Structure formats: structure tokens, C-alpha cells
Amino acid sequence: EDKVVQSPLSLVVHEGDTVTLNCSYEVTNFRSLLWYKQEKKAPTFLFMLTSSGIEKKSGRLSSILDKKELFSILNITATQTGDSAVYLCAVCSDTDKLIFGTGTRLQVFP
């Protein structure tokens, strides 16, 4: 059965810290991996990754995929209180369905 596992489940840091969120997956015929940020209700899109080793970057956030070891990481540098959210990882296989992990809850304190 296809599976996406995120770790840690929860993380508490202070402003200015750097965090690394992990996402590992087991899916048949991997096609893409997506990261979303969910603050209150609507998940908002962060990155889509399809190729190994190519870093995607947006401001203080970056992400990379390792298709050999079947995982991705999401890095956030110089965290701010506005980064507090649940970060969701999702994988798309050849069934064209998104399979989500349960998320990592990040809390950033001033």
C-alpha cells in the first residue's frame, strides 16, 4: 500500500532557528512530490519536486528530493513566527492521486 511518512510530528523552535522537516515515501511508480503549508484551513502550495538532487528555493524555504533513498526534506532558515503551521508532504503516483502524510506541526516562538 502506498505510504507517506513525515517526521517529526511536532517541532517547537525559537525565531531565528533553522529547521529541517522530513518526508519519506513508499509508492508504486512515483511521479512527483509536493509540499504544502497549512496555517488555519486551506493548504497553500510551496513546492513540487520531480527530479532528484535539484533544490527548489523560495526565500527562506528550500526543498530537495532523493528518489534513490525515497525521501525529501524541507528546510526553513531564520524561522519567523509566521512560519508556524502544519507542513504537509504529498506524493503523486501513476494513479494520479495525491497521497498525503499526516504533517509536521511547527511552532515558532519569539
Partner 1 sequence: KAGVTQTPRYLIKTRGQQVTLSCSPISGHRSVSWYQQTPGQGLQFLFEYFSETQRNKGNFPGRFSGRQFSNSRSEMNVSTLELGDSALYLCASSPTRMTAKNIQYFGAGTRLSVL
The alpha-carbon radius of gyration of the chain (Å, integer) is 13
- Three-state SS letters, 1-54: CCEEEEECCEEEEECCCCEEEEEEEECCCEEEEEEEEECCCCEEEEEEECCCCC
Nearer to partner 1 by Cβ, of 8 and 16: the residue is 8
Tell me, residue by residue from 6 to 35, as one string, x for binding to partner 1 by CB under 8 A and - for no binding: -------------------------xx-x-
Nearer to partner 1 by Cβ, of 19 and 48: the residue is 48
Please count the residues of this chain forming the interface with partner 1, following the rule CB under 8 A.
26
Tell me which residues touch partner 1 (CB under 8 A): 31-32, 34, 36, 40-45, 48, 50, 88, 90, 92-103
